[in-house]
Chains A and B, each alone.
Chain A
Amino acid sequence: MVGLTVVAAIFATLPLVLILGLLIQKGASSLSWDFFTAMPKPVGETGGGMANAMMGTLMLIGIASSIGLPVGIGAGLYLAEHRGTKIAFVVRFLSDVLNGLPSIVVGIFAWQFLVRPIGHFSALAGGIALAAMMIPLVTRATEEMIHLVPSSLREAALALGYPRWRTSLTVVLRTALPGIVTAALVAVARIAGETAPLLFTAFGNQFWSTSVNEPISALPIQIFTYAISPYDEWHSLAWAGALVLLALVLVISLIARFVTRSRFSGGHD
């Protein structure tokens, strides 16, 4: 029995190891300084990079976070402070449904309600689509983290004459903050690699753009475009892009892990 679980545990980590190995094998050779700083070159020319796609990914993460984090944390705080109410039940349930929604559906929804009325693809539409994916993640994680705050701390603050809102902000939320930061980072890592919601919203862009009002490239879109192209040169760039994306997610996860650890080591004497 123990042997079987060990085998299962090895198989659980195997995909990541294989993916990492393959990406390093296929993509590492195309990684260069140029990859991070240069623009894509036209077909037939060698070299070129994904500077615009990286800028795009950062912008999309920025837009999504500035919408998704405040809404998600606020909703999570509400759910935690009003556990038993009917509204909390409904919000919690819908949050879970939204969390399980296929990302392509979010993309189509954003296209219908943002891209079509505005008339063109834009970074803003992409960011909002990603925010819609982020909100349920952050909401539920924030709620869980706030639950971990002992109710005795809330009582202590109330007994000192803290108003309810100040108790929530300066004691409860503040105590849960490392956990919420971790959850936010995990959510960012999750949306950083999303492709489907961007296909009909941010769309992709061969040129340098930092405008929220114009189509913008992103690493996953660029990888997709290059991977389905018939050119070997673009294929290897797609591998390199995938490697960079994986590295980004790994780094964010590591930071998240570090924040979590400092939270639990600080709590005991």
Chain B
Amino acid sequence: MAPFAPVDATVAVAVAEPRLAVRALDAYYGALRVVRGVSVDLLEGQVTAIIGPSGCGKSTLLRCLNRMHETVSTARVEGEVLLDGRDIYARGVNAIEVRRRIGMVFQRPTPFPTMSIRDNVVAGLRAAGRNAPPRAEQDEIAEWALRRSALWDEVKDRLPDSAMALSGGQQQRLCIARTLATKPRVLLLDEPTASLDPLSTQKVEELVYELRGEVTIVMVTHNMQQAARVSDRTAFMLEGELVEVAPTSRLFTAPADERTEAYITGRFG
């Protein structure tokens, strides 16, 4: 199954700037060091996939990119993550501001059960409290975000209904719409299709493919075919370390590191 056109990654890499630059990042749970000295550039407008076996630290790395890691007690981060050149871990930087610029979608759909479909989409805008845009503008943004998430046609007639009535795949696209509504610079996807059926998975993948260019996407996945289908660049992690990052077509055909080759040919993990 190869529903998308192959990506000419070499051309894209040449023009892309790093939107997000990770520098010597260590992440801990208590004394356990789960991310070990990772440095990687995440290029503007590109989709970067992070692959690796379970427990390799790929989700933790992702959670360090929008300061979600620190919401767990005993969790700790060392190193730098530069968003457009500014360290999001620098003193005086507000984690809440960071999270508004770097959106995140999780493995399981997380619509807010007490909110309507419409309110779910604009939930991030309303997080600003009094500074939230007026209702009419919220409606416009909601429609824009739902169209961007290829969900508008399915839900336009039932915006006031509970979001829980949607299917799992629709809920996940709703969560993507909710994140897009805040117009983030970077979109982090943590195994966004792990709980979805094949058809819903394909829709989310198409969506990721279409969003490239507009927003920088980092996607953790345990599915190598998925990484190959939708990403421009792929990073391989093993035991907390970043083994290799390369244009996707090259990483899967001519990996530089023998551990990468062992993993993608299925010899472990």
Chain A residues close to B by CB (< 8 Å): 84, 150, 152-153, 155-163, 166, 171, 174-175, 177, 266-269
Contacts and interface: CB of A to CB of B under 8 A. Distances in A.
A166 B123 CA distance: 11
Nearest to A174: B114
20 contacts: A152-B108, A155-B71, A155-B110, A156-B106, A156-B112, A157-B112, A157-B123, A159-B66, A159-B179, A160-B103, A160-B124, A160-B127, A160-B178, A161-B99, A161-B100, A161-B124, A161-B127, A161-B128, A175-B112, A269-B165
A148 to B, nearest CB: 12
Contacts of B178: 160
Contact of A158 (B99, B162, B167): B99
Nearest to A167: B127
B71 A158 contact: yes
Contacts of A268: 164
A157 to B, nearest CB: 8
A161 B179 CA distance: 10
Contact of A269 (B97, B104, B167, B175): B167
Contacts of B99: 158-161
Given A84-B73, A155-B68, A162-B127, A267 B113 contact: yes
Contacts of A175: 112-114
Contacts, number: 68
Interface residues of B, number: 30
B182 interface: yes
Contacts of A156: 106, 110, 112, 175
B123 A160 contact: yes
Contact of A266 (B129, B164, B166): B164
A50 to B, nearest CB: 41
Nearest to A83: B73
A159 B104 contact: yes
B96 interface: yes
A175 B129 CA distance: 19
B166 A269 contact: yes
Contacts of A162: 96, 127
- The listed residue with most A CB atoms (<10 A of its CB), out of B100, B113, B164, B175, is B113
Nearest to A85: B73
Contacts of A267: 113, 164
Given A160-B123, A160-B182, A269-B167, A171 B97 contact: no
Contacts of B66: 159
A238 to B, nearest CB: 45
A131 B167 CA distance: 44
A266 B111 CA distance: 13
B108 A160 contact: no
Contacts of A166: 127, 129
A269 B164 contact: yes
- The listed residue with most A CB atoms (<10 A of its CB), out of B99, B162, B165, B167, is B99
A104 B104 CA distance: 54
Given A152-B110, A158-B68, A161-B124, 18 more contacts: A152-B108, A153-B110, A153-B112, A156-B106, A156-B175, A157-B127, A160-B124, A160-B179, A161-B96, A161-B97, A161-B99, A162-B127, A163-B96, A166-B129, A171-B112, A266-B113, A268-B164, A269-B167
A177 B165 CA distance: 20
A-B complex: 5 closest residue pairs judged by Cβ atoms:
A161-B100, A156-B110, A160-B124, A159-B104, A161-B99
Contacts of B129: 166
Contacts of A160: 99-100, 103, 123-124, 127, 178-179, 182
Contacts of B110: 150, 152-153, 155-156
Nearest to A158: B71
